[in-house]
């Protein structure tokens, strides 16, 4: 009898040890693990994060004016401009790749689909974190879901859809977490829901990606005419598809450079083909976007603004949008992965430029002497993005993201 209890106790301590050492500390002892953390990258990241956290603390004790330049004329600043309006389109990676693999059955892209979903999930999670920092009363963030409804608001739709989609992506990604934790029955259950989750992802994503543009339909005189258009929902949706794809191309490249030891050969060897394939699709999407953009400006009769300072600023953005698909197309034709990656980078900058211009830089263009941002705001943004990178690295270091878990190889879903 005592023997049995002893072995049970032993098993318990073994399990705890396993969870702590194998899973949490990456198969190292605590000492070794802490030691392994001290390197130049982590030290710099640590300093940025601590400074940012201090400013966030200031924001929550003294109000938004302590760290931002937001004003009654310019209610939204970098937090939403970067975190929400730019973060969400790139996070389309999860739904675009999920649809390609699970709905259209394009098995070629299977090696990157988990990573794309993780990137999407983190993008949404951090968009919500940015929103929480920016909201006047963030502890009421659940009000539009349960307490008080403003159904005529596009933002009501965005709130619901972002909340639901965050949950959907958490579930989609949970398969990797369950594989890591060895929770087979849970994993099996979630895999059974793949189709439902993917279709939910399409419904929610197409709507809220376009809704982010539709939010600005309500400010026709405030967004500059070269950016404001009644086509904005469709422009935002189409460019978000491209954003999700170029994000996958670029992060794949980065994993190749920095996370190689966490990837399996199947992942690494398929990246070139995948990059070329995505590049092709992305080039078509961006050509469509450029056409739609030209049409929208003509439709709104805004070409007269071209030879103004804002018009020149627009040209910079537009030239990037026009060159990116040509580079992508050319790169695919000559099978140059580097060219495709460069085209993807250009597209990423163009989309970032577009989101910041629409929601922030050209917003209130008719008002003279606008203060765009305060340096503390920039530090907070960089710090939160750094935390996102650290969380991403923490997960990829542990869970099967860039590789298949040895226990589940050949277990297709």
Positions 104 through 123 that interact with other proteins (CB under 8 A): 104-105
CA pair distance 256, 263, nearest whole angstrom: 8
In terms of Cα–Cα distance, which of 97, 104, 157 is closest to 123? 97
Measured from the Cβ of residue 184, the count of other Cβ atoms closer than 10 Å reads 13
- In order, the DSSP letters of 211-280 are HHHHGGGG-TTTS-TTT--TTHHHHHHHHHHHHHHHHHHHHHHHHHHH-GGGS-HHHHHHHHHHHHHHHH
> Binding to other proteins by residue 200, rule CB under 8 A?
yes
**Judged by CB under 8 A, does residue 102 bind other proteins?**
yes
What is the Cα–Cα distance from 74 to 80, expressed in whole angstroms? 12
The minimum distance between CB 320 and other proteins, in angstroms, equals 26
Tell me the number of residues near other proteins by CB under 8 A: 73
CB of 213 to other proteins, least distance (A): 9
Q: Is 195 in the site for other proteins (CB under 8 A)?
A: yes
Using CB under 8 A as the binding rule, whether residue 175 contacts other proteins is answered as no
Q: Which of residues 119-158 bind other proteins (CB under 8 A)?
A: 134-138, 140-141, 143-144, 147-157
- 4 to 63, contacts with other proteins by CB under 8 A? 59-63
Residues in region 361-400 near other proteins by CB under 8 A: 363
The residue (of 30 and 73) whose beta carbon lies closer to other proteins is 73
Measured from the CB atom, the residue of 63 and 291 that comes closer to other proteins is 63
Among 7, 13, 14, 75, interactor with other proteins by CB under 8 A: 75
**Helix ranges, 79-152 (H):** 87-90, 93-98, 110-134, 143-146
The CB-of-124 to other proteins minimum distance in angstroms stands at: 16
Please, which of residues 221-240 interact with other proteins by CB under 8 A?
221-222, 230, 233
Note the maximum CA span of the chain: 90
Give the list of residues 6+ apart from residue 21 with CB closer than 8 angstroms, or none: 27, 28, 29
Which listed residue (7, 71, 269, 308) binds other proteins by CB under 8 A? 71
Site string for other proteins, 237-276 (x = CB under 8 A): ----------------------------------------
Closest CA to 169 of 133, 236, 105, 123: 123
């Amino acid at each position: 009898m005592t023997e049995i209890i002893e072995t049970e106790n032993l098993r318990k301590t073994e399990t705890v040890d396993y969870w702590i050492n194998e899973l949490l500390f990456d198969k190292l002892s605590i000492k070794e693990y802490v030691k392994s953390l001290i390197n130049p990258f982590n030290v710099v990241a640590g300093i940025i994060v601590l400074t940012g956290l201090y400013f966030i603390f200031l924001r929550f004790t003294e109000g938004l004016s302590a760290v931002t330049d937001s004003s009654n004329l310019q209610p939204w600043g970098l937090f939403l401009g970067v975190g929400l309006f730019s973060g969400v389109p790139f996070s389309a990676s999860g739904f675009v790749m999920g649809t390609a693999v699970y709905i259209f059955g394009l098995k070629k892209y299977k090696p990157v689909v988990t990573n794309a979903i993780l990137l999407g999930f983190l993008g949404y999670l951090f968009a919500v974190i940015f929103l929480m920092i920016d909201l006047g009363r963030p502890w009421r963030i659940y009000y539009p879901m349960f307490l008080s409804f403003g159904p005529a608001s596009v933002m009501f739709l965005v709130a619901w859809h972002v909340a639901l989609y965050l949950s959907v992506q958490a579930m989609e990604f949970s398969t990797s977490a369950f594989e890591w934790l060895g929770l087979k029955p849970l994993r099996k259950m979630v895999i059974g829901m793949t189709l439902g989750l993917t279709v939910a992802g399409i419904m929610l994503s197409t709507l809220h990606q376009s809704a982010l543009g539709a939010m600005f339909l309500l400010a026709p005189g405030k967004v500059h005419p070269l950016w404001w258009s009644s086509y904005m929902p469709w422009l935002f949706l189409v460019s978000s598809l491209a954003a999700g794809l170029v994000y996958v191309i670029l992060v794949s490249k980065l994993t190749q450079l920095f996370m190689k030891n966490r990837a399996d050969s199947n992942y690494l060897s398929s990246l070139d083909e995948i990059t070329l394939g995505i590049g092709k699709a992305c080039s078509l999407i961006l050509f469509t976007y450029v056409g739609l953009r030209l049409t929208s400006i003509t439709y709104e009769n805004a070409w007269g603004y071209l030879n103004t300072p804002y018009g020149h600023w627009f040209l910079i953005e537009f030239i990037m949008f026009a060159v990116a698909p040509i580079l992508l197309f050319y790169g695919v034709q000559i099978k140059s992965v580097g060219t495709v990656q460069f085209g993807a980078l250009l597209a990423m900058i163009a989309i970032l430029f577009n989101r910041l211009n629409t929601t922030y830089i050209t917003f209130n263009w008719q008002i003279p002497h606008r203060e765009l941002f305060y340096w503390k705001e920039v530090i907070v943004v960089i710090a939160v993005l750094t935390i996102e990178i650290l969380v991403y690295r923490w997960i990829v270091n542990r869970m099967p993201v860039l590789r298949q878990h040895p226990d589940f190889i050949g277990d297709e879903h």
